[in-house]
Amino acid sequence: GNGVADDKAIYTYVPQMIKYYLNEEPILKTVPTYSMDNAEHFQHVFGNIHKMVIKKTNESGGYGMLMGHAADEKQIEKYKAEVVKNPRQFIAQPIISLSSVPCYINGKIQPRHVDLRPFALYGPQGIEIVPGGLTRVALREGSLVVNSSQGGGSKDTWVLM
């Protein structure tokens, strides 16, 4: 599986890992990721907190996050105190503007934010991109959190060829 490669604690280092292990430049850009145990990163993140999301590295499903744009000063200070206690357990990323799609909710068509997770299979014949994927939907109006454990859902994803 990809458990090691999908560990939030190493997101910061993925571009360097690609260069080191594959001797190649990354083909796809990644979301800039900041390790909160790096003093420079820490200052940058909390200096721009209303544009950032901070995540616990040992949590999944949208738990243990602070969405800076939606947090008040009290929430930010409380979360910052947690980060200071053990900064190695946190990473931060800029809040990404997700696409929105029409969803049929409560008898009306309404926009909701989504993210797409495409899938690639690797086998003896090489890499094959699966004609579809997982589209995760933030079902709460205005939310950017698409995890099903946080009230998100999914939509059919069709790829026309």
pLDDT at residue 1 in the model: 46
pLDDT at residue 134 in the model: 86
Query: Tokens 């995760």 belong to which residue?
Result: 136
pLDDT at residue 58 in the model: 83
pLDDT at residue 8 in the model: 84
Of the candidates 17, 58, 50, 56, the one whose C-alpha atom is nearest the C-alpha of residue 36 is 56
pLDDT at residue 9 in the model: 84
pTM score, two decimals? Answer: 0.80
Positions in the chain whose pLDDT score sits under 70: 1-6, 61, 161
Three-state secondary structure call for residue 34: strand
pLDDT at residue 149 in the model: 77
Task: Give the side-chain half-sphere CA count within 13 A for 36.
Answer: 27
Contact present, 115 and 139 (Cβ < 8 Å): no
